[in-house]
Structure 1
Amino acid sequence: MNVFKHVLKTYFGFCTALLLAATSPWVMAQTPQRTPTPNDTLKSPKALDNKRVIIQIYAPKASDVVVSGDFTSGGKPLSLAKNDQGVWSVTVGPLQPDYYTYTLTVDGVRTMDPKNPVIKQGINSLENVMLVPGVETAFEDNRAVPHGEVREVWYQSNTLSMLRRMHIYTPPGYEKGNTKYPIFYLLHGAGDDDSGWNTVGRAGFILDNLIAAGKTKPMIVVMPNGSMPMPATSGMPDMNMMNRMRDLFASELLKDVMPYAEKNYRTLANAQNRAIAGLSMGGFQTLDVTLTRPELFDYVGVFSSGFFGSSIDEAETKYAKALNDPSFNKGKKLFWIGIGKDDFVMDANKKTLALLDKHQIKYQYKETAGGHTWINWRQYLNEYVPMLFK
């Protein structure tokens, strides 16, 4: 014991001596000090009172910096200007209060804003997220209301022979009770993964706020990964590849995702308490699953989507049974379709509506301002959810 005490005393004495030596005026005077830079106090993005935002980055050796985002006109990048301290900046707006995504490109290299830790993850890229605050964002903000939980759930996909991840929202109070809830399958678009609706999509906060306001029933929301693994040598996906990915997703949703969610969570697993909706690629997937297995979902939502390319030509044959079923409309309490008037998939949307009209499929249609953006999709979710499970 005395030996142990001696060792400890020696050790702490050594550490103390080192600390005193390191902080002595002579040692500190000999240690090179880091020169402060503008980056030390730089803030980006910086919201201004006039609904404008300054985006900036410290890159003194760069020769060209641009920013791309869903706030730029026609997707054209904006150039940043460099000051004499090496800070590049640009002021964007005025913008409608909402959440926006953006990325910086420095001398041809795409990069993140190092001062902004808020990101949206995709299957091949990352984007920063920024907020332009205002009363218009109240429906999607993190407010002082009871909050549900969003979990990252890993499961075995027998369809793909691999582990896969999905995000699942459970409403406030789920853990403390034994109530069974309706279930809503919410699908993302191309390029994103299962985190999309939970990050920039703000789905959890939108549900929390709607439930707290008494505008919708509490529900479980399943957000699966609709992006299927692509073959290593596939190159740019053509329509045949898209159709194969569509069929693969449908198989995984029906055979893996739904059975897992409805076994492991307290759900009311029947068509009257089951909804599905998706944006863009997810809307395409929603149409496919709904018209292939119409008995599964009484509530359907299609955001900024339709049958793309040649898929419209095969749709009448592939979905003939559902399209020609006179009882199809009776099995749908809601078939809601929304799109922005400037959306680049408007042509596919119109052809899809014409197909539904031809077969007298009833739906609700809403055309809004804007294009193919999360600004619209969050609004659509906020409008769609209160119509569910009536």
Structure 2
Amino acid sequence: MKRLVPSNLLLIAAFLLGVRTFAQTPPRQPTPNDTLNSPKVLTNNRVAIQIYAPKASEVIVAGDFLGGGKPLNLAKDANGVWSVTVGPLKPDYYTYTLMVDGVRTMDPKNPVIKQGISSLENVMALPGSETVFEDNRPVPHGELRQVWYQSNTLGMARRMHVYTPPGYDKGNTKYPVFYLLHGGGDDDSGWPTVGRAGFILDNLLAAGQAKPMIVVMPNGSMPLPPSSGMPNPAVMTQMRTLFANELLKEVMPYVEKNYRTQANRENRAIAGLSMGGFQTLDLTLTRPDLFNYVGVFSSGFFGATIDEAETKYASVLNDPGFNKNKKLFWIEIGKDDFVMDANKKTMALLDKHQIKYQYKETAGGHTWINWRQYLNEYVPLLFR
């Protein structure tokens, strides 16, 4: 008769075999990666970016700290550590990306990231007096919520971020609403993360420089149609229409149903950067009844859209009552921004039709370094 081995004996045997195998495994050899620190803030506002890649043949870094300049090559030492020192830099929050032998690579020593719709970037902080407006300071904080909803327009679940001011959950006050739009390649996480929107709002409110408000940050990146290839004018028009429907039919009704809002034009604002600025212009000149406060950051009617704009928005551009119903139409851009030409053509169109706006030109280019500053300047002007 075959004898059966009790199951507990089998477990003991397996455990002893595992212990023996583990004991025979040689100990892991330490590497320079164990103690590597990246990014490393040095004296005089310089920063060292480093990565351990002993088998790599080339490592380069690109980032907005370069101000539009060419990527930098990292140098390899005898231990396989690649490094480059940048700066001195103005204190701020910067994004950067490593390329290791042509492969986009995250800095494995830096867990702080900015997420896009198809890419990631690392974020590094260089603190100083210039960053006080965007830092996490010891002030009352609002709440940033990730809100999922079912979009009938797109036939899928969608996410937005919603900021509620300090004390929102303890009261019954109704608040004005500010719709804040991101740029192309990003999603609704852009403004809450690298955009520092929650901290900027917290600090302005604590200083008494802004009215308490709800800030809605929707996902403005629409799913591309199948086999659409690179975006062309027809696809861009379709994306623009999809976003308008998404905001007007899905996002705004959801917010006004689920949050305590003052749901009228006098208590609604909108602003966006780059693609979000284009979306802001489209909504403002299509539905002028919705928003009394409008902000356009680093944007304009791009390419062929400037040619169709005068026809598409003719009824609003020629409406003598448009200016009366806008308490603020704010346009801001950096002098080195690559969309400056589209911005100037857009302002020329507004000038032609006597649409009033305020314009500010700053240093810098098409970067979050500027857009955080623009948000900090725009918010105090709202709902006054």
> 1:54 Cα deviation (Å)?
0.5
Alignment-derived partner of residue 125 in structure 2: 131
Select 1:265's aligned residue among 256, 259, 263.
259
Task: Give the root-mean-square deviation of aligned CA atoms.
Answer: 2.0
How many angstroms apart in 2 are the aligned matches of 1:31 and 1:184? 59
How many angstroms apart in 1 are the aligned matches of 2:343 and 2:44? 36
How many angstroms apart in 1 are the aligned matches of 2:358 and 2:175? 25
> 1:75 Cα deviation (Å)?
4.3
Select 1:169's aligned residue among 163, 167, 176.
163
Alignment-derived partner of residue 64 in structure 1: 58
Question: Are 2:253 and 1:255 aligned?
Answer: no
> 1:52 Cα deviation (Å)?
1.1
Q: Which amino acid aligns with 1:163?
A: A
How many angstroms apart in 2 are the aligned matches of 1:192 and 1:74? 19
Alignment-derived partner of residue 173 in structure 2: 179
How many angstroms apart in 1 are the aligned matches of 2:283 and 2:260? 23
Q: Which amino acid aligns with 2:125?
A: L
Q: Which amino acid aligns with 1:375?
A: I
Question: Are 2:204 and 1:210 aligned?
Answer: yes
> 1:239 Cα deviation (Å)?
2.1
Question: Are 2:26 and 1:55 aligned?
Answer: no
Question: Are 2:223 and 1:225 aligned?
Answer: no
How many angstroms apart in 1 are the aligned matches of 2:285 and 2:159? 26
How many angstroms apart in 2 are the aligned matches of 1:379 and 1:218? 19
How many angstroms apart in 2 are the aligned matches of 1:144 and 1:90? 34
> 1:93 Cα deviation (Å)?
1.2
CA 1:28–1:285: 2 relative to 1, 3 Å: closer
How many angstroms apart in 2 are the aligned matches of 1:184 and 1:74? 31
> 1:232 Cα deviation (Å)?
3.1
The percent identity for this pair of structures is: 80
Q: Which runs of 5+ in 2 are unaligned?
A: 1-7
Select 1:375's aligned residue among 369, 375, 378.
369
Alignment-derived partner of residue 147 in structure 1: 141
Alignment-derived partner of residue 4 in structure 1: none
Cα deviation code 1:5-62 (max 9, x no counterpart): xxxxx99xx8xxx79x96xxx9997541111101001010011121111000000010
> 1:176 Cα deviation (Å)?
1.1
Cα deviation code 1:102-143 (max 9, x no counterpart): 111101111100000000000010000001111100000000
Select 2:186's aligned residue among 185, 192, 200.
192
> 1:235 Cα deviation (Å)?
1.3
Select 1:120's aligned residue among 110, 114, 120.
114
Q: In structure 2, the residue corresponding to 1:236 is in which secondary structure?
A: coil
How many angstroms apart in 2 are the aligned matches of 1:27 and 1:337? 68
Q: How does 1:1-390 map to 2 (within 5 A)?
A: 30-390=24-384
Q: In structure 1, the residue corresponding to 2:178 is in which secondary structure?
A: strand
Are the aligned partners of 2:67 and 2:364 in contact in 1 as well (CA < 8 Å)? no
Q: Which amino acid aligns with 1:42?
A: L
> 1:177 Cα deviation (Å)?
1.0
Cα deviation code 1:257-287 (max 9, x no counterpart): 1000111001111111100000000000000
How many angstroms apart in 2 are the aligned matches of 1:29 and 1:368? 64
How many angstroms apart in 2 are the aligned matches of 1:273 and 1:138? 28
Q: Which amino acid aligns with 1:381?
A: L
How many angstroms apart in 2 are the aligned matches of 1:182 and 1:190? 26
CA 1:234–1:29: 2 relative to 1, 3 Å: closer
How many angstroms apart in 2 are the aligned matches of 1:135 and 1:375? 15
Are the aligned partners of 2:98 and 2:105 in contact in 1 as well (CA < 8 Å)? yes
How many angstroms apart in 1 are the aligned matches of 2:118 and 2:21? 48
Alignment-derived partner of residue 3 in structure 1: none
How many angstroms apart in 2 are the aligned matches of 1:241 and 1:76? 31
Cα deviation code 1:203-222 (max 9, x no counterpart): 00000000011000111000
CA 1:85–1:300: 2 relative to 1, 3 Å: same
Q: Which amino acid aligns with 2:47?
A: V
> 1:72 Cα deviation (Å)?
1.9
**TM-score if structure 2 supplies the norm length?**
0.94
Count residues in correspondence: 375
**TM-score if structure 1 supplies the norm length?**
0.93
Q: Which amino acid aligns with 1:215?
A: Q
